[in-house]
Structure 1
């Protein structure tokens, strides 16, 4: 009532400070925030325990990439917890999570190569095979595209496709923060003159291009790496992407359109961000536990691919693509 009498619109207010959230908490809010914070803390502890296991049990060439991939869900959970307690920091926590995941996209590609034995082992195994490039998210509707021979140049282009996303996402994150400090960047500003309407679609295009090489490599190696549970690992990686990017975007769009009603302290966009952070904490907690089960295993060398094309080691044959 006081806001209306002063002629201000509560839906246009900035998110409240953390101390205001704490002061207005009731019993239900205290329980909710405590449980979600506990989940985020457990996710971080599980990740740290997994890092110790990886450093002790995993070969040196795989340690770094597996830790990066394992850290996706715990990092997003931790950033979401910070965004939940400090609503004004949500833009920065979301950008941090998205930048980390952009690096994970590249690391997942490298992890598949390391599971094979590295670049040289991959090229040695692939000398009689071809890559199917008519796959998502870029070209799943183009089955007529030719298969591509596997060479060092092809492997370099696949790596470059994912690496550009990791680098450019970081660049655009820094640029967004710089523009925000100057008052030129606002995630809620969808006008043609706003920086957000230009940066976000371009980052979306980079995301699609970055995911494409990973999908190509998975289709090529999923039979070879079946004993490494690569398909469930890829499913968890995709689930993190969908929940952290697509789900968050849908909730934020609904909030900016007023579908999510404002509360006493939170405007519609701020409440949408808050709901998104709370959902992510719960979802990333579950994914962290599942991921721990998938990656906690003996890391033995992959068997050599024999001439009989054993089902546990073969790749997509050249004759199948002619």
Structure 2
């Protein structure tokens, strides 16, 4: 009978401290932790080298956006590595990664605009075109929505839609930490009266709203910026989003439901966090190497092409990807 089953006390305890992990590692565990830590360290070193390259080779108007976007994978991988070694800090490492990626969402939108020369060049070249807003993740099924004229106001609203997430995510994170210190915030609390469920719901809505302007801009510029490999760049950005948010959420939900078994010294939930972090380190390492290939190129000035007769494009950029 289930009533006579004994449960290991560690399955209901807090996650172990770092020293306990070191003392209980076997040969396989030592190799696994060493390899994953090496991957996280290499990812950060590659990112630092890439920042130095961007600082020296890339025009000033694009430096900030490219550095932020390139840092998504290595920062998430590094935070996952810290969470793997210090399980009790998982909430803080996850929040740090989420705050950073919230800024990346806005910076990727800025990057696409800067690739065509900035706000003024974008408005000058795209003034006669319209934006298709019936796209994901909000309105992909609403095909009846009208196309929107490209004006300073519409461009400002697109930027605002993504910037609000970068700002509000930091605000919600600070609020969560404050509530946690007072004992009112628990990521495992799914009760309606708990603060966690409402903060998570609010962040989810803001995330969807922020991703929408980026998708609108990408659909509008994907042909124009094809020579700059904007499609694989967008794919990497989306992959980081799916892996760091959706994949982690699925694993954590399975752990909270008890689907992932308890393995002392890890409870079911702590083991779920551990599995998520180990997967993220490997995945972010691969994405870091791919993004380095995509963004490491030399940049040439954008020509002043005001006589473009193609009404379906904004005008081709003269920046060419170098081998």
Q: TM-score range by the shorter chain?
A: over 0.9
**Paired residue for 1:242?**
242
**Counterpart for residue 184 of structure 2:** 184
Asked if 1:226 is matched to 2:226, the reply is yes
Runs (5+) with no aligned partner, structure 2: 317-323
Q: What SS does the aligned partner of 1:141 have?
A: coil
The answer to whether the 8 Å contact 1:223/1:311 transfers is no
Q: Map residues 7-156 of structure 1 onto 2, 5 A cutoff.
A: 9-156=9-156
Contact 2:129 2:312 (C-alpha < 8 Å) held by counterparts: no
Q: Using the alignment, how far apart are the partners of 1:229 and 1:41 within structure 2? A: 27
Runs of at least 5 residues in structure 1 that lack an aligned partner in the other structure: 316-322
Deviation at residue 310 of structure 1 after TM alignment: 9.1
1:227: Cα distance to partner? 1.2
Cα RMSD after superposing both structures: 1.8
SS at match of 1:301: coil
- State the SS of the aligned residue for 1:169: helix
1:122 alignment partner, SS class: helix
Task: List per-residue Cα deviations over 1:159-191 (Å, max 9, x = no partner).
Answer: 000000000000000000110111111111111
Structure 1 equivalent of residue 310 of structure 2: 309
Distance change in 2, residues 1:153/1:224 (3 Å): same
Task: Tell me if the contact between 2:125 and 2:314 (Cα under 8 Å) persists in the aligned partners.
Answer: no
Q: Secondary structure at the match of 1:264?
A: coil
Cα distance in 2 for partners of 1:233, 1:138 equals 21
CA contact (8 A) 1:223 1:313 kept: no
Assess, with a 3 A threshold, how the Cα gap between structure 1 residues 238 and 7 changes in structure 2: closer, same or farther. closer
* TM superposition score normalised by structure 1: 0.94
* Structure 1 Cα separation of the partners of residues 20 and 26 of structure 2: 12
Equivalent residues in 2 for 1:255-266, closer than 5 Å: 255-266=255-266
- Partner residue, 2:319: none
TM-score (norm 2): 0.93
Task: Give the secondary structure class of the aligned counterpart of 1:66.
Answer: helix
Classify 1:179/1:162 alpha carbon distance in 2 versus 1 (closer, same or farther; 3 Å): same
Shifted more, 193-202 versus 7-16: the winner is 7-16
1:228 positional shift: 1.1
- Count of residue pairs the alignment pairs up: 312
